[in-house]
Amino acid sequence: MVDSPIKQLAADPLVRMAIEQIAPDPGRPLPGPPRNRLVTDLDIQALDLRIKRLEALLPRLERIEKSLLFVELIDDDEVALKQACMRVGISAGKVRSHCRSAHLVAKRRQVYQILHELGWSYCRIGRACDRNHAAVMHLLSL
């Protein structure tokens, strides 16, 4: 079973470090400067250092985000179909099979829905899954 994107991000040590830099204790609000205190050059330097550290993490976070949106970034239909099938927990062969058992039809519909939400046409989904576009439209209309 594929972990949710939130769990994958939370498990990444760099993301965890960035969150701790911003808010050390998630249960407590961020500490503000004490009242009647002027912001010093040291405060500004500390904030600049935090900003630089977070900016250094941006490329890694962008790579993580792209990997979470893997199906959108794939041009090859076969690979995209297999990735969508992995998300749902079914093999591509079962999506292409003509078995009409309820659980397979439900999984097949989920795969079609994922691909359709990514902008695939009914014809493209049908070609990838050995179906007619009308069969794809019918299953998605249920």
Q: Where are the domains of the chain?
A: 5-68, 77-141
Instruction: Say whether pLDDT at 139 is over 70.
Output: yes
Mean pLDDT in the chain?
A: 78
Domain 77-141 has what CATH class? mainly alpha
Q: Is 110 exposed, middle or buried (0-12, 13-18, 19+ CB in 10 A)?
A: middle
Tens digit of each residue's pLDDT (9 = 90 or more) over 29-74: 555 555 556 667 777 888 888 888 888 888 877 776 665 655 445 5
CA dihedral 94, 98, 100, 102 (to 10 degrees): 20
| Residue 122 three-state SS | helix
Q: In angstroms, rounded to a whole number, what is the distance separating the alpha carbons of residues 33 and 28? A: 15
- For the residues 72-99, what does the mean pLDDT come to? 85
Instruction: Say whether pLDDT at 126 is over 90.
Output: yes
8 Å CB contact between 74 and 82: no
Q: In angstroms, rounded to a whole number, what is the distance separating the alpha carbons of residues 124 and 138? A: 15
8 Å CB contact between 57 and 18: yes
Q: In angstroms, rounded to a whole number, what is the distance separating the alpha carbons of residues 79 and 75? A: 8
Confidence of residue 95 (pLDDT cuts 50, 70, 90): very high
Place of tokens 């292409």: 96
Q: What percent of the chain has pLDDT over 70?
A: 64
Instruction: Say whether pLDDT at 2 is over 60.
Output: no
- Per the model's pLDDT, the better-predicted residue between 2 and 125 turns out to be 125
